[in-house]
Amino acid sequence: MERVELQEKIVAILVDEFEFENPGLKDNLRDDHGFDSIDAIELLAKIEDMIGFQLSRKEKEQAMTIRTIDDILDYIETMQAAHQG
C-alpha cells in the first residue's frame, strides 16, 4: 500500500473513530488530540486489520514511540517491509 493511501486511511480512522478534528501529519497525537494508551491499542488493532496480518508483541512494543501521524505511516511501512520477505 502506498504512503498516500495509508495516510488517507489513517486520517480517516483518526477522524471517524477517535474524533480528531483536522489532524496534521506533525501533530503530537497525545498533546494535540488527547490520544492515550488505550486509543493506541485500539489503533494498532485497526492497523492490523488494514495491513492484513497480526503484529508480534515486539512489533507492538515498537509502536509505543509513535507520536505523530508521520510516525504511524513510517511504522506501517516498516512493518509491511518486514513481513514481505
Domain spans, the chain: 3-84
Angle at 53 between CA 49 and CA 63, to 5 degrees: 80
pLDDT at res. 1: 83
* pLDDT, average across residues 20-48: 96
What is the separation of C-alpha 85 from the centre of its chain, rounded to a whole number of angstroms? 22
Residue type at position 78:
T
Percent of the chain with pLDDT over 70: 99
Q: How many CB atoms lie within 10 A of CB 14?
A: 22
CATH topology of domain 3-84: 1.10.1200
Report the predicted TM-score, pTM, of the whole model to 2 decimal places: 0.93
Residue 36's pLDDT is: 94
